[in-house]
Amino acid sequence: MSAFQPDFAKPDFAGAQVRPSPNCGERRNGRKPDMLILHYTGMATAQEALDWLCVEESQVSSHYFVDEAGLITQMVAESARAWHAGESNWKGETDNNSASIGIEIAHVGHREGGTPDFPDVQIDAVIVLCRDIVARNGIAAERVLAHSDIAPLRKQDPGEMFPWNRLYREGIGHWVEPLPVGGGRFFQEGDSGQPVEALQTMLALYGYGLEVDGVYSAQTAAVVRAFQRHFRPARVDGIADASTIGTLHKLLSELPGVA
């Protein structure tokens, strides 16, 4: 990719840098970005991850990269199509690379024995960057998403430790206070029937890509886990308990045009 004029130009981005990645192209069919997708790198170090995103061999990239110290690097111009979403689906749209702007956040990812917190200074930088992107591109709150939301069978980033509630308090993304985890009726893999179909319909209405067939399949369980990681992170198990379903109801009730 040729050099480009960075999309950040305000004092808030002091110290930000540009490192062009060759892994990009034109947005297809003139698609303008109206989604913001957040990722974690899942690699041992920030430098290793940044290097990988900027070499042709990897065939992956994102528009921005934020390291643990909060340094922002732009790799692809927002007007271009970065290669970060992969095989994905949101509200029936499958070319989410053309529809979105992607941010990679340096983080080791899910590891045996626990997943580390994101440093405050890093999240501070992510908030500044997201707020700017959302404002300039008119991105709706409910279209600020996790990679796991659009690719639940393949991805689990940025994970349940990512502070979506903190971003929401700063005016970024969609969030409601999740219902407490407790007892009550639940649905899990292997179940079937009209209540499962109703759950699948609600998840699809929110935007998740899944088959609405009344069968609680591995795909449905993966979508429920993705939903939990984003909106009910206290327990991520793929089981649709009362807390999960109630939180989904609350989110849907706030969407424009959804009764």
Tokens of 11: 């004092």
Tokens of 230: 């984003």
Using a 10 angstrom Cβ sphere, with 0-12 exposed, 13-18 middle and 19 or more buried, the burial of residue 182 is: exposed
Q: How far apart are the first and last CA of the chain?
A: 46
**Contact partners, residue 133, CB within 8 Å, separation at least 6:** 36, 78, 101, 103, 139
Cβ–Cβ under 8 Å, residues 107 and 118: yes
Determine the Cα–Cα distance for residues 147 and 107; give it in Å rounded to an integer. 14
Determine which one of 48, 87, 93, 104 is catalytic. Answer: 104
Determine the Cα–Cα distance for residues 258 and 64; give it in Å rounded to an integer. 33
Asked if omega into 158 is within 30° of 0 (cis), the reply is yes
**104 tagged catalytic:** yes
- Report, as residue numbers or ranges, the catalytic residues: 104
